[in-house]
Amino acid sequence: MKPFSARALIEKTRDKHRLNKEEVQYLVNAYVEGTLNDYHLSAWLMAVYLNGLSREETVWLTHAMRDSGVKVPREAAASFWIDKHSTGGVGDKTSLILVPLVVTVCEKWLGPGAVRIPMVSGRGLGYTGGTLDKLESVPGFSSNLTMEAATRALEQNHFFMMGQTAQLVPADRKLYALRDCTATIESIPLIVASILSKKLAENLDGLVIDLKWGSGAFMHKQEDGRRLGEMLVGVARDSDVDAVAILSRMDEPLGYTAGHALEVQECYEYICDKRRERGLDNVTLALAGWMVSLCSRRKLSVGAATEACKEVLGSSKLEEQFLRMFTAQGGDWEAFQRRRESAQKSLQHLEYRAAKAGFLSRLDAGEMGRLLWEIGAGRDQVDAQIDLDVGLEFHKKVGDAVQAGEKIVSVYHRGADVAQVEVRLGSAIDVGEAAVSGPAWLSEVIDE
């Protein structure tokens, strides 16, 4: 006999009554095992979409999903396990800087082996780029690690960067696919359970969440970002993970580039302290400061931790750690440089220039994301092939003065429809006469 009636559980959520822990666990486990049908879960998901879940129910859902598969095995050592999650945006490349930066600073300030970063990342979907795609633009890099290889990497290098596997949180894979075709993706408790079940399977002590809002983010309004952030932080803390969320703007692309190989090169220049775009600098250092502070179990203030991060930029130790991020998983950095040289020769260049002198007042992230997708850098289906070399370079950012005829954006493409690209850029870029200040990248921190 089945312990619960699926129909009764759907009715409860539909009528705004609370489920208990066993009922939530039953829905997840029975669906993963195949004893509940898609139509049962579809109806329940829609009831959740319409009526929400309480914080307790969201915690139980998150834990049931986390427990549907394996977890990253936790060694006995007293290191602090930390990760960051970003809701994604155009030109968002901070993970590639944060991993080497946080490892380097924690080793220096908190002692050897003080931190572990078990980073399970995704590929880009829609116009938001994925960390794995960027890493894989370095020839030879493999994100396909077995759990044994991932555990070895954590011991030896103190981090790993891998993709989702069939064994990690299978419930999320199944439920996400169902949410996608039942129009229930945009539900805060379902998003929270989806994100955190995967992060909790990493066995973390701390999590820093980068919540982006604006035209190039999946949340357009700050208050939506805040609601999601509060729930993410609350559920993570109820799961014994010290979490904070930072709300940051995504109205213009982050950094000077968008496109996978271009962004890897930009991260290299950033950590070598050769070129640091203001937005990328603000967001990365805020996230890094929080990550290091959490790793010190909050003994180091965020301000002091941020200063410590700034100090190591440009050091040979940080450069070594950055290169190790690729080489530890098979990446060949020299082959990456050869790849870039050959791409520079084979790609076509389109320069978008200012028609008049003034100040750049808009460089719309959403439009730039759509353009990236049109030139082949983004995917609309999880298994679609993408071009890792094409992309955009932003010579000017919002607030910069421009002269008539100066380059604003370069588009590196392979035979895109130039007229269409120019129309897209024209609708995304404004130059005004009045001086404007650049955006305040950081909006608020959720730490309670």
Identified binder of ligand URA from the candidate list 191, 236, 411, 431, rule CB under 6 A: 191
Q: Which of 85, 173, 276, 397 is catalytic?
A: 85
> Where does this chain touch ligand URA (CB under 6 A) — which range of 72-80, 143-151, 189-197, 342-350?
189-197
Residue 125 contacts residue 342 (beta carbons within 8 Å): no
Of the pair 100, 369, the CB lying nearest ligand URA is at: 369
Residues 6+ apart with CB under 8 A from 387: 375, 376, 377, 414
Residue 351's CB is within 10 A of a number of other CB atoms, namely: 12
Q: Which residue is nearest to ligand URA (CB)?
A: 194
Q: Is 179 a catalytic residue?
A: yes
Query: Using the rule CB under 6 A, is 119 a contact of ligand URA?
Result: no
Place of tokens 């396909």: 144
CB of 188 to ligand URA, least distance (A): 10
Query: Using the rule CB under 6 A, is 121 a contact of ligand URA?
Result: no
297 in the Ramachandran plot: left (φ > 0), alpha (ψ -120 to 50) or beta? left
Cα separation, 391 vs 350, whole angstroms:
11
Of the pair 41, 195, the CB lying nearest ligand URA is at: 195
> Where does this chain touch ligand URA (CB under 6 A) — which range of 187-195, 229-237, 287-295, 378-386?
187-195
Cα separation, 354 vs 218, whole angstroms:
29
Q: Quick one: tokens of 372?
A: 């990236």
Cα separation, 373 vs 125, whole angstroms:
10
Helices then strands, each counted (H, E), the chain = 17, 13
First to last CA, the chain: 44
Identified binder of ligand URA from the candidate list 10, 114, 195, 286, rule CB under 6 A: 195
Q: Is 198 a catalytic residue?
A: yes
Cα separation, 306 vs 190, whole angstroms:
33
Of the pair 194, 257, the CB lying nearest ligand URA is at: 194
Residues 6+ apart with CB under 8 A from 11: none
CB of 434 to ligand URA, least distance (A): 38
Distances (CA, A) of 295 to 82, 242, 253: 7, 10, 29
Q: Is 85 a catalytic residue?
A: yes
Q: Is 249 a catalytic residue?
A: no
Query: Using the rule CB under 6 A, is 161 a contact of ligand URA?
Result: no
Query: Using the rule CB under 6 A, is 194 a contact of ligand URA?
Result: yes
Q: Which of 123, 198, 370, 424 is catalytic?
A: 198
Q: Is 361 a catalytic residue?
A: no
Query: Using the rule CB under 6 A, is 143 a contact of ligand URA?
Result: no
**Site size with ligand URA, rule: CB under 6 A:** 3
Q: Which of 83, 92, 133, 172 is catalytic?
A: 172
Q: Which residues are catalytic?
A: 85, 172, 179, 194, 198
Residues lying near ligand URA in the complex (CB under 6 A) are found at 191, 194-195
